[in-house]
Amino acid sequence: MISTDDSTGDRPKRTNLAVPFGAASVALWFCCPFWMLVWLLALPLGLTGLVRGVIEYRAASRQDTSHAQPLIGLALSTVGAVAAVAYMIFVSTHPDLPIQG
């Protein structure tokens, strides 16, 4: 019988993308003063980081590896996405802001 385990490490190693997506979504809030444009970029980056973080966390659980990087990516992505949603709600509930005029 042929074993299906890949113990030799011939599989290509997947890169961890949750941390870069999460860091980018948070960094946009600190680096760019034009928040009306930032949330348009930060929300998709944050949501992508959340999805990648969940995928990487499940993969780390199956492979019994460290969960630190997926959890950091999930935390950063959550902060970036929540900030974008909070800003979007703030702008929509304050019609007296000059940006909406």
pLDDT tens column, 76-96: 999 999 999 998 898 888 877
Overall pTM surpassing 0.85 (yes/no) = no
By residue count, the chain amounts to 101
Dihedral angle over CA of 6, 56, 27, 80, nearest 10: 170
pLDDT at 101 over 50: no
Neighbours of 26 (CB within 10 A): 22
